[in-house]
Amino acid sequence: MKKLTVDVAVIGTGTAGMSAYRAAHAQGARTVVIESGPYGTTCARVGCMPSKLLIAASDAAHTLDVAPGFGVHPGEKRIDGRAVMERVRRERDRFVGFVLESVESFPEADRVRGHARFTGPHTLQVDDHTEIEASRFVIATGSTPVVLPQLQNVGPGIVTSDDVFYWDDLPASVAVIGSGVIGLELGQALSRLGVRVRIFARGGSVAHLSDPEVLHAATRTLSAELDLHFQSEVVRAEQQGEEVLLTTRDALGKETSERFQYVLLATGRTPNVGKLALEQTGIALQAKGVPAFDSRTMQCGNSHIFIAGDANNELPLLAEAADHGKIAGENAGRYPDVRPGLRRTPLAIAFTEPNIATLGKSYRQLCEGGRPKFAIGQVSFENQGRSRVMLQNKGMLRVYAEYGSCRLLGAEMIGPRGEHLAHLLAWAVQAHMTVPQLLDMPFYHPVIEEGVRTALRDLAANLAKGANHTDAADSEPGT
């Protein structure tokens, strides 16, 4: 068995692990990164990038679908599934190539291949070939799709998002299980590309929304286009030749069986901490076996172990993984001098159309601990000028501010170009801007941002009233 002694061992070479490696190395610490799977990161190989490539193809198809609404008739639409998937894989491989170049720029001696598990508070074993003794560790092991017990060992027709981006062709039909971000993004994209898609969700949640008004608008908007079945449970599935016979049960207890080429599981992801033998380290574990950690420093208790990215189950998003990795790596590098790092305003976007986005404090967080003490402003995009011009007049934005200080606290939305509106508002939250300051900002005409102004004006009026606002407000036509 090979033996290595280092200052910092980083477990996982995804976005968080690579960021941690660089940060620890920059502190002058002798650092190694360990990887059990293929290099290339979840984001580039099977996450953010290929999903957005598939969505981009579906946007192109959808443009043709909506063209007649403008009096433009593009003729017969033909979707070449092989060409769609070929571009997704080709561009994905290009992005992965950049990551591989980056990993390969780390000295070979700093890269260890194999599955790492703790054998003591300061020791790791990698497969059965290497023992690593380190003074500090960063756990950056990512997450894995959850597979429902009733769908385990059914056959090749049960897939997760890890499989979709290796398809050679678009399938004929897909049942998507889950109405979270991944289920909705992939379900809508496949549907717009001509795949027969049916989405089943156990509850009534949509992406990461918690505001009941926005949730209602999202359910209505998405259900108008997608075959969405809420309050539906998966009973069983059986592989029958090239298809899966899926049986689901609705809220009234009625069971329905239907065949699909694939059943795509999008029922969440679980942090990869179960196979690390964390019990050997003595650190305290919380829900899902994730170590208790300080989200400002990424330190697990008072220990020499830090945790970053999806592995810590805080906010499983790419930008967070990169930030966590930097904070964890810097702190591991200069341990015991542990310092809080930069945590930005939370921002999450589902690239459905319309986009769904949340930022800052969520409605649920603001309602925690009793009677809500914040004001709400809102706008419906149904009558918003520029949104109507573009035939994208769907959805709703709700913005939240603190009484007294009038500071913007957060927002939830489903609406056109939501990805951009969410950035503007997240920057304003992080800059501690007040609602009057935001209303002093320039607004061009005619733009979707005028819808944000309508919501902010509504919010200003409700702050002035000093009362909570829950009724639907009409948006001003044309703004």
CB of 227 to ligand FAD, least distance (A): 21
Does residue 455 interact with ligand FAD by CB under 6 A? no
Tokens at residue 306, please? 């830090």
With beta carbons less than 8 A apart as the criterion, state whether 260 and 174 touch: yes
Q: Which is nearer to ligand FAD, 43 or 366 (CB)?
A: 43
Residue from 183, 309, 377, 418 in contact with ligand FAD (CB under 6 A):
309
Tokens at residue 475, please? 């948006």
Say if residue 141 is exposed, middle or buried (CB neighbours under 10 Å; 0-12, 13-18, 19+).
buried
First to last CA, the chain: 69
H helix and E strand count, the chain: 13, 22
Q: Is the link from the previous residue into 446 a cis peptide, with omega within 30 of 0?
A: yes
Please report the sign of the dihedral spanned by the C-alpha atoms of residue 133, residue 126, residue 336, residue 273: negative
Residue from 7, 8, 9, 13 in contact with ligand FAD (CB under 6 A):
13
CB of 279 to ligand FAD, least distance (A): 14
Interacting span for ligand FAD (CB under 6 A) from 29-37, 193-201, 245-253, 386-394: 29-37
**How far is 226 from 190, CA to CA, in rounded Å?**
11
Q: Which residues 314-353 are close enough to bind ligand FAD by CB under 6 A?
A: 316-319, 321
Q: Which residues 185-214 are close enough to bind ligand FAD by CB under 6 A?
A: none
Q: Which is nearer to ligand FAD, 321 or 399 (CB)?
A: 321
Does residue 380 interact with ligand FAD by CB under 6 A? no
Does residue 479 interact with ligand FAD by CB under 6 A? no
Specify the amino acid at residue 459: L
**How far is 179 from 187, CA to CA, in rounded Å?**
9
Contact mark string toward ligand FAD, 268..287, x via CB under 6 A:
----x--xx-----------
Please report the sign of the dihedral spanned by the C-alpha atoms of residue 316, residue 322, residue 323, residue 327: positive
Q: Which residues 88-127 are close enough to bind ligand FAD by CB under 6 A?
A: 115-116
Q: Which is nearer to ligand FAD, 29 or 46 (CB)?
A: 46
Say if residue 308 is exposed, middle or buried (CB neighbours under 10 Å; 0-12, 13-18, 19+).
buried
Q: Which is nearer to ligand FAD, 147 or 461 (CB)?
A: 147
Does residue 15 interact with ligand FAD by CB under 6 A? yes
Q: Which residues 44-83 are close enough to bind ligand FAD by CB under 6 A?
A: 46-48, 51
**How far is 381 from 23, CA to CA, in rounded Å?**
43
The residues of the shown chain that bind ligand FAD, judged by CB under 6 A, are: 11-17, 34-37, 41-43, 46-48, 51, 115-116, 140-142, 161, 182, 272, 275-276, 309-311, 316-319, 321
